[in-house]
Amino acid sequence: MTAAGAGSGVCVGLMSGTSLDGISAAVVRIRRRASADAGPPFTADLLAADTRPYTDAQRARLERALAEPMPAAEWCRLDADLGSWLADAAALVIAQAGVAHDEIEAIGSHGQTVWHEPGHSTWQIGGAAVIAERTGRPVVSDFRVRDVAAGGQGAPLVPIADALLFSRADGWRALQNLGGIGNVTVVPPSARAAPADADALPPLDGVRAFDTGPGVVVIDAVVRALRPGVRYDEDGALARAGHVIPGVVEACLAAPYFAAEPPKSTGRELFSAAYVADFLALGRAARPDASDADLVATAVALTAASIADARRRFILEPIGDLLLSGGGARNPALVAAIAAALAPLPVRSFDREFFDGEAKEAVAFALLAYLHLRGLPGNVPSATGARGPRVLGVRTPA
């Protein structure tokens, strides 16, 4: 940690996810609670948050990187250019926060995952050196690599934030993220989290997390395939006008991923363009006169059913509520489908309990940078399957 910003607890988080909507950025002041205080072990004061949408040209370059081989020159240029886009997002949110430049300890940047093969390798691009040079602040990046090297899935990484920042004092809680991919974290009551060493993290052995399957990646891809030029189903209008096609969701849930025991993670490697084409063919075969709205409604039902299926199969803890966050939590049709699938479990918006859920993953990567600077582990082995706790990330000095 540089002398400037040391101990301030102010970090920036940057996140670009599988949905490729844009870059989420957040400035957060992180503090450890006094041991006698009730509630999560740490607090995160959100000082500013912003989402910087990708232009059509930027998104097209990222989509190409995820879909097809490219010459080394194109990979190199995309890595550097993405670093520049991330730096722009960081500079904007820092200005919005109104904090002194030197007060920022570090920028935690997730980058963009372009390859993820649990058990072997994972790759996130996004020019950490470019961000450091442009912002003048240290950057912590490449968070997933060490967990994979330690035998873990390298995902999900947000559970550390779910456990340290968003747990309930009085009971178990589930936190469901609805990005491109859906993932859930199950956290025990924060009252159980009492570290023996005041400088250490509380025990995290009760925390579990895994990818439940698609979040909005299939829904959005179905919309784009049916309505060229439309990025997503705004306000869930198409889904709400349609009817779920019988048999399709059940057939999709028969895929091996859904039955696989956690820890597990997935991504566009599974829910690819070919998967979406097969999904559409299955829907049209089951109902030849299916409307666009019916197909979108069925994609929504798949996400909701996969979450309910994961709870039935793998979540035995007595969870008292489930909080929804991520872009999919803005889709009323998807939220309603999840609530119905999980009834009578209370399903609420993360926004109502804490802050804008769109910033949640960016806040998580700010926390991961904070932990890295203090030599504290950022993975949850019970979630990723790693051999043990590991300090995550690589630091690029300012």
Q: Are residues 153 and 295 in the same domain?
A: no
**Residue 106 β-bridge partners:** 11
Q: Is residue 1 part of a domain?
A: no
Q: Are residues 176 and 310 in the same domain?
A: yes
Cβ 118 vs Cβ 53: under 8 Å: no
pLDDT of residue 67: 85
Q: DSSP string covering 9-47, please?
A: -EEEEEE--TT-SEEEEEEEEEEEPPTTS-S-SEEEEEE
Q: Is residue 125 part of a domain?
A: yes
Where would I find the H helices in the chain?
56-67, 72-97, 128-135, 143-149, 159-165, 217-226, 237-241, 248-253, 256-259, 273-286, 292-314, 332-342, 350-353, 360-373, 381-384
pLDDT of residue 195: 53
Q: Are residues 78 and 118 in the same domain?
A: yes
- Radius of gyration of the chain from its Cα atoms, rounded to whole angstroms: 20
Block means of pLDDT (10 residues each) for the chain, length 398 residues?
Answer: 68 90 96 76 95 95 90 96 98 96 97 91 96 98 97 93 93 94 93 60 89 96 95 96 98 97 87 95 98 98 98 96 94 98 97 93 97 96 94 98
Q: Is residue 88 part of a domain?
A: yes
Domain that holds residue 370: 10-158+358-396
Q: How many domains would you assign to the chain?
A: 2
Q: Is residue 21 part of a domain?
A: yes
Contacts of 377 (CB under 8 A, 6+ apart): 201, 371, 389, 390, 391, 392
Q: Are residues 262 and 348 in the same domain?
A: yes
Q: Are residues 173 and 130 in the same domain?
A: no
Helix (H) or strand (E) holding 182: strand 181-187
Q: Are residues 171 and 318 in the same domain?
A: yes
Q: What is the pTM of this model?
A: 0.89
Q: Is residue 5 part of a domain?
A: no
Q: Letter for the amino acid at 99?
A: V
Q: What are the C-alpha distances in Å from 68 to residues 80, 113, 114, 264, 313? A: 19, 14, 10, 25, 35
Distance CA 50, CA 48 (A): 7
Q: Are residues 102 and 174 in the same domain?
A: no
Q: Are residues 325 and 371 in the same domain?
A: no
pLDDT of residue 5: 59
Distance CA 37, CA 98 (A): 29
Distance CA 182, CA 210 (A): 9
Q: Are residues 258 and 371 in the same domain?
A: no
Q: Is residue 2 part of a domain?
A: no
Q: Is residue 347 part of a domain?
A: yes
Which CATH number characterizes residue 29's domain? 3.30.420.40
Q: Is residue 65 part of a domain?
A: yes
pLDDT of residue 1: 44
Rounded to the nearest 10 degrees, the angle between the axes of helix 72-97 and helix 56-67 is 130
Q: Are residues 147 and 190 in the same domain?
A: no
pLDDT of residue 170: 87
Report the chain's terminal Cα–Cα distance, integer Å: 10
Q: Are residues 283 and 197 in the same domain?
A: yes
Q: Are residues 119 and 149 in the same domain?
A: yes
